[in-house]
Chains A and B, each alone.
Chain A
Amino acid sequence: MVSTLIILFASGFCLLLVWVILHSGLPPIRSLGDWEANKHEVDIDAFRLLLESAEEQYLRRSLPPLEFRVFQRRRMKLALRSLDLVGKNALMLMKLGQLAKAGANPKLAQEAEELIYGALRLRVNLLLVQPYLRLKWLFPGWTVSVPGFALPYEELLSYLNRVRQQRRWDLERILMAG
């Protein structure tokens, strides 16, 4: 009986996990029009400015410590919000790329492959940038580099590159054959 209860509890937990994974809050992307209607416009220059070290140094010098922390938290919150929207854009573009790949046009499929690769790479970068920004939000004065993630990151990027290269060869073969 106890084992059954444990299994039922684990099943419930798995169901909850599935719901969390699937409940991305993203609108369904079924055409180019859906992307145009749902994409988020995020200003990349504004984002760069939010994370500019010189700007941070200037604020640190000009403001009292308490005010600096409040201000810096606001900047990190804005940067995180921007990244959240950019991440959603990347997911929508991946979906759009998959739809384009499903079509019969090999040239478009190649473009879609590049789009998916770019979006996937962005998602990998977000995995690294977002936790750091959360740390900066918690500790606004944080200036220390974080060790340890370099190797998996490089490996993941080179893996993505290898996959992209393989796909490109496959598509080129199809184009040559057609």
Chain B
Amino acid sequence: MLADSADFADVPPGLDWQHYALGIAAGFGIYSALDLALLQFRAHLHSVAYATFALLGSAAYNLAVITWAFYFLKPRDEKSVDSLPSTDLANWNDALTEQVDKWYQR
């Protein structure tokens, strides 16, 4: 349980466009949006054959797969970091904790 939580802590609050989680969500989002649109068209466009909608549905899923493939196969331009900078995070944490202790009743 704790290990799972630790994995969750890997995800930073500031996501970027390159994050895998976003790619997975984008794939599902694209597929769902297109599927919904097709469902709506199928209810109103009776002249178009059912087989066409089935094919378009498959194409929507393939588009999602292409999105996922793009996210996972695209080479990352991140270099590994050899050293870390010294920071004043501890001082800032102390300063902010002082204020929190002062302002918020415990």
Of A59-67, A69-77, A85-93, the segment with at least 4 beta carbons within 8 Å of chain B is A85-93
Q: What's the interface size class on A, roughly? A: 35 or more
Taking the complex as formed, is A30 at the interface, i.e. its CB lies under 8 A from any CB of chain B? yes
Q: Is A166's CB under 8 angstroms from B16's CB? A: no
The chain A residues found within 8 Å of chain B, CB to CB, are 1, 4, 7-8, 11, 14, 18, 21-22, 24, 26, 28, 30-32, 35-36, 44, 47-48, 51, 53, 86, 89-91, 93-100, 102-105, 108, 111-112, 115-116, 118-123, 125-126, 128-129, 132, 145-150, 153, 159-160, 162-163, 166-167, 170
Q: Is A118's CB under 8 angstroms from B93's CB? A: yes
Q: Give the complex CA separation of A35 and B33 in angstroms.
A: 38
Q: Is A145's CB under 8 angstroms from B85's CB? A: no
Most chain A CB within 10 A, of B88, B97, B102, B104, is at B104
Most chain A CB within 10 A, of B29, B87, B93, is at B87
DSSP class of A's interface residues: helix, strand, loop or mixed?
helix
> Shortest CB–CB separation between residue B6 and chain A, in angstroms?
5
